[in-house]
Chain A
Amino acid sequence: MPMLPTRARMAQLMELIIVRTLAEFKAEAGRYYASFFWWVIEPIIYMGAFYLIFGIVFQRGGNDYVPFLLTGLVVWKWFASTVLQGAGAIVMHAGLIKLIYVPKAVFPGTVILANALRFAIVFCLLALLLPAMGLWPTRSWLALPVVVGIQFLFGAGCTLVLAALVPFLPDLKLLLEKLLMLMFFLSGIFFKVSDIPPNWQAFFLLNPMASLIDSYRRILLHHQWPSWPSCWRVLLLSVALMAAGQWLLRRFDRLYPKVIGA
């Protein structure tokens, strides 16, 4: 592949990512009885736990606590799964990349695409469930594709950068697990931004995931437009991360086989 013009190379790369993603789904379906349903079940279990603690024990949830929790958890699950799997994607294929030249972006790329498709299905289920809880679609739902798109780019950007760095700094993967745990508590998944002291709110929303989750909730639960300035801020950051990730992956494309599993 090395001497192909850029466009042909990109087409081949995308084709490989798509075929690998579909193959992964097929393999998963053949392997686990409830393969896909784990994706639905996990947010529901979490929701049950948080509902029990905050909704029933502390009596703090309010009326819409179930859709409120579900929105946060589904969105978070997409981000966390993509980043965590993607960070180890190149290292996981150490054997393969020592045998064959494969553009390294293929590995995080497959994780990004596969998780986006899984999220798409779970999110559609959520969108069908909301009217059943009295939250009917309004005009503000038109902003959903924008927010979903920004989250896709943000997750992809983080994943590419991490996938590119983890082969050199294996400890980063362990650090990431702790960081994700911390971020889970700081992204307002089970509490409202408005519950935070006012002078801390702006600070809190600097966390891109907190601001994205807040945007989803404005749209789905409160029939409002998202806060556009914070959307564009996350978009800008995402584009920068993607550019950096791609640059790193290309820069070290033929170095990874030498540093991994030495």
Chain B
Amino acid sequence: MSRDRVDAPIMTLNGVGVSYWRRRGRFAKERFWALKQIDLNIFPGETVGIIGKNGAGKSTLLRLLAGIIDPDRGLVTRRCRRMSLLALQAGFNPHLSGRDNILLNGMLLGRRRQEILARMQEIIDFAELSAVIDAPLHSYSTGMRARLGFSVALHSEPDVMLLDEVMGVGDAAFKQKSIMAMKAKIRSLQTVVIVSHHPQTILTLCDRAVWIDAGGTRATGCPQTVIDRYKEHLWPSNNT
């Protein structure tokens, strides 16, 4: 699956750090670095898997890549417009119809109104909701909402798609369908960054893996090599 990387990176992170201020008492504050030193290149069309323990800084890294926050030190260079975290159902309004929610959610994910209207039917069909699409969202079941959110996100096609785990939604049949669709997207020319806890996800889907530990990049490269080092770090005794 590896591709020749003749292109320049679509996004580059150079010695990037992100800090938060934590409150200590009423007035005192304490600075805490969620990301300390991250170096990362993302090339067009590739799928990068990010692995690491809880608290390693994966969520902060996703937010940084999505352009939600800025780094406090280091440099982020972007050569693309839309990098979205596939936040399912973000901005959904229960008092509006499914159709209106597709429009709002799609626009929040960075699409223009016309682009969404052009793909409206496709989005409705994928979610299998044509019968109820003009009913208000509060009349939908949880599964129906999840299907709608997934379908909009899948069709929003950002330049770089950021995923927090590859998850299916809905009942067993739709879960299968949504995972297949997501995997098809990942294997296409879409540039994808996946954050996952599961070594297997990274091994099967990614061209390259990055191991994040304690706010820094610990290893980068071929998924098998990186995952092996990660596992050895987690369970050192198993390999001896």
Contact = CB atoms under 8 A, between A and B. Distances in A.
Do A and B truly interact? yes
B20 interface: yes
Interface stretch (A25-33, A79-87, A139-147, A213-221): A25-33
8 contacts: A3-B78, A16-B108, A19-B104, A19-B107, A26-B95, A101-B66, A254-B70, A262-B20
Interface stretch (A70-78, A92-100, A154-162, A188-196): A92-100
A223 interface: no
Please classify the interface of chain B as helix (H, G, I), strand (E, B), loop, or mixed, using the class held by over half of its residues: loop
A26 B136 CA distance: 11
Interface string A104-133: 000000000000000000000000000000
A2 B90 contact: no
A100 B96 contact: no
Interface of B: 20-23, 63, 66-70, 78-82, 84-85, 87, 90-91, 93, 95-96, 100, 103-104, 107-110, 112-113, 136
Given A1-B81, A26-B100, A30-B95, A100 B69 contact: no
Contacts of A2: 67, 78, 81
Contacts of A3: 78-81
Interface in A1-37: 1-4, 12, 15-16, 19-20, 23, 26-28, 30-31
A15 B110 CA distance: 11
A30 B136 CA distance: 9
Contact of A23 (B23, B68, B80, B104): B104
B70 A255 contact: yes
Most buried by A among B22, B23, B104, B110: B110
Nearest to A93: B91
A99 B87 contact: yes
Nearest to B92: A96
A101 B68 contact: yes
Bin chain A's interface residue count: 20 to 34
B195 to A, nearest CB: 14
Most buried by B among A23, A30, A255: A23
A257 interface: yes
A102 interface: yes
A2 to B, nearest CB: 5
Given A30-B96, A100-B87, 6 more contacts: A1-B110, A23-B100, A99-B87, A254-B67, A257-B63, A262-B23
A95 B136 CA distance: 22
A100 B85 contact: yes
Contacts of A262: 20-23
Given A2-B67, A96-B108, A254-B68, A19 B103 contact: yes
